[in-house]
Amino acid sequence: MRVLLTGAAGSIGTVLAAGLQPHHELRGLDLREPENAFAAGAVVGDCADPDVAAQAVAGMDAVVHLAGVPTESDLPTILHSHVETTAALLDAMVQSGVRRMVYASSNHAVGMHPRTQRLGVDVAMRPDTFYGVGKVAAEALLSLYADRYGISSVAMRIGSFLEAPQTRRHLATWLSHDDCVRMVSAALTADLDGYYPVYGISANRDAWWDLEPGRAIGYVPHDDAAAFDAPDPGPDDAIEGARVGGPYATAAYDRHPFEGVGP
């Protein structure tokens, strides 16, 4: 497949570029020139710009959309970074006849749910931050474009993308680098219609979230956070483990929607 990888210079994008290159012809898109070489070249620009999105999507078979501010910010920044980019790319896909998007959503779209041993993908959206709100809105766009234009999509509600777990919470939420590549590979080639959310975690013994929707589209994770020495207990373990979003669901992330905006 010819695959556009947005956020190609980021932490997940760099890992995916290396993991997907042997199997797909990739084009990179980022605000800065990616370090990786891409067989279909690289586009530098903001994918919220319709012209940039159209240039990047042209000739592709699928889009893996990772671009976006990776942490909490003010609401205008979040909406531009996560919602406007997704809308521009989806619109470009309609114009170019591209039928599959794999989207890097987040557990923070449902972060205010209390911790449970098997939280399903069908629960109500309960974002824990403006970052989570951006992911909810982007997933809503995936649903709209699936129903209106027939673009199939997989929304990966990614947990903790790390080389190794660092806190007790990560024993449940960890996503290994190799499993991330496996998940995106499955999402690109799965036989599915419509908008389809999955949880982006490894096969963790202590997982809180249901992995069966991912397995149903061919994502078979191999790694388990329990294979590492358990992180030392920390003073915030109970708070971070109380809700799906961990620290994002706490008062530490209270902020005003337009904080820092303006001259």
Residue with tokens 């521009």: 88
Query: Got the DSSP string for 1-67?
Result: -EEEEETTTSHHHHHHHHHHTTTSEEEEEESS--SS--TT-EEES-TTSHHHHHHHHTT-SEEEE--
- Angle of helix 130-149 relative to helix 85-96, nearest 10 degrees, comes to 20
Residues 209-231 as b/e (b if ≥16 CB within 10 A, e otherwise) read bbbebbeebbbebebbbbeeeeb
Residues 100-123 as b/e (b if ≥16 CB within 10 A, e otherwise) read bbbbbbbbbbbbbbebeeebebee
**Rounded to an integer, what distance in angstroms lies between the CA atom of residue 36 and that of residue 187?**
22
145 labelled catalytic: no
Which of 131, 145, 196, 248 is an active site residue? 131
**Rounded to an integer, what distance in angstroms lies between the CA atom of residue 221 and that of residue 179?**
5
Q: Which residues are catalytic?
A: 131
